[in-house]
Structure 1
């Protein structure tokens, strides 16, 4: 089946079904990817398909509703963050159940006009994958939103400290990721991020201590220090 920009949701789903790969599904599960609705199609292949079918926000919302892992990845790749509404985002967030989907969606959501608000709302949400989304967004925005002032990025550090004690695996790893990315952004961001990493490394809380020590190890590495001085 040849798909183009006019392809409908049913046509796209039918095409995806023809690409099912059981071996890839098994491989995905070993990386902690939720495979209950997976077809085993690689993300590079999905990204190529997304370029072929083009951006279509209405269709992206339909693809998400199918529940298929690959259709949801295509939804993320072809949705329009400039027109995506907060109710639409919250509907997606209610379905977050896999770190892979969350992290891909986080990149999209940092392009919305209200992404800062989303970070605060997601961080305050107790659901594991919704809270992860907050810190995945911080990690992504730190790298991709290059016009964001350093002061605005540094302002996320108190939020990181506040949730550094959340011992759920997918949260603590995202909190750590956000802290490391802030520290690696540039020299201005490095100092306050390093200070927080040192504080957390000395914490009595086991999770906060792990986050701090892990971040401290990278932020004081010769590789990072050399890059920041360059």
Structure 2
């Protein structure tokens, strides 16, 4: 029995019909076992980075196996072509988002990938581009703020006419950009006020569309408290902590961990 077969057996034992029902509401399709994200995270920690195992799990086409594959895949084994191929093979946003968060955002050329996907003709790639930008805003302190500021006018122009799930990702990205720095918070908040309420059909789920203005304010308030607590040292850290604690647990995590929470 191969390592992949061992992991698939373990995933099957961890699955439940209740979680399968939840995943179906978020667009996942068979085959799948219905493994909660908390259990997948435990497996990720135990398995570590393993590209060969990740490739085998991804090729199984099982939903849970593919999410775990994204979680343990080695970003160093990916170029933009490989990332694009895996993303195109994803059968739902849960798989695509896991791949982008655990692999795509860690590639040196991630910003170039995001820019290319935003102009893609296929809606899944355009949505993936915005999800990638949201991760970069949280996790890539070396990127210039201008990269994100230049995307705000595009969000203003396109968000209301974008397809439903792309609209959701754009709103998430708007919040992540605003959470990144004080300067971007002012620009993103002004953009959010111009945009107004964003309507997203979340289907038969408990997900809600976060209000960008209030979420950006909460994120920046949290970061200011962290900086005061640590004597300004928090300013040297990536905005990831701020965004995840003040926004992603309530907004981004709705997509990445929908099955465990909704």
Q: TM-score over 0.5 for the alignment?
A: yes
RMSD: 2.7
1:40 has 2:34 as partner: yes
Measured in 1, the distance between the counterparts of 2:223 and 2:69 equals: 36
1:184 has 2:182 as partner: no
Stretches of structure 2 lacking an aligned partner (at least 5 in a row): 200-209, 226-262
Residues 94-122 of structure 1 show CA distances to partners (whole Å, capped at 9, x for unaligned) of 12332222222221201011101111121
Measured in 2, the distance between the counterparts of 1:178 and 1:116 equals: 14
Indicate the SS of the match to 2:106: coil
1:17 has 2:6 as partner: no
1:88 has 2:82 as partner: yes
Q: CA deviation at 1:199?
A: 3.3
Measured in 2, the distance between the counterparts of 1:20 and 1:194 equals: 41
Of the three residues 202, 212, 215, the one matched with 2:212 is 215
Residues 169-205 of structure 1 show CA distances to partners (whole Å, capped at 9, x for unaligned) of 1100000110111112221111221232233339xxx
Residues 49-70 of structure 1 show CA distances to partners (whole Å, capped at 9, x for unaligned) of 1222221113212211111111
The 5 A counterparts of 1:147-186 are 147-161=142-156, 163-186=158-181
Partner of 2:206: none
Measured in 2, the distance between the counterparts of 1:159 and 1:114 equals: 21
> Higher relative contact order at CA 8 Å, sep ≥6: structure 1 or structure 2?
2
Q: CA deviation at 1:215?
A: 2.5
The 5 A counterparts of 1:1-230 are 8-30=3-25, 32-108=26-102, 109-161=104-156, 163-201=158-196, 214-219=211-216, 223-224=218-219, 226-227=221-222, 230=225
Work out whether residues 123 and 135 of structure 1, in 8 Å CA contact, stay in contact via their aligned partners in 2: yes
Measured in 2, the distance between the counterparts of 1:103 and 1:50 equals: 16
Q: CA deviation at 1:162?
A: 5.0
Measured in 2, the distance between the counterparts of 1:226 and 1:59 equals: 42
Measured in 1, the distance between the counterparts of 2:221 and 2:175 equals: 16
Indicate the SS of the match to 1:82: helix
Work out whether residues 81 and 111 of structure 1, in 8 Å CA contact, stay in contact via their aligned partners in 2: yes
Q: 1:116 to 1:15 in 2, by over 3 A?
A: same
- Taking structure 2 as the reference length, the TM-score comes to 0.72
- Taking structure 1 as the reference length, the TM-score comes to 0.81
Number of aligned residues: 215
Indicate the SS of the match to 1:164: helix
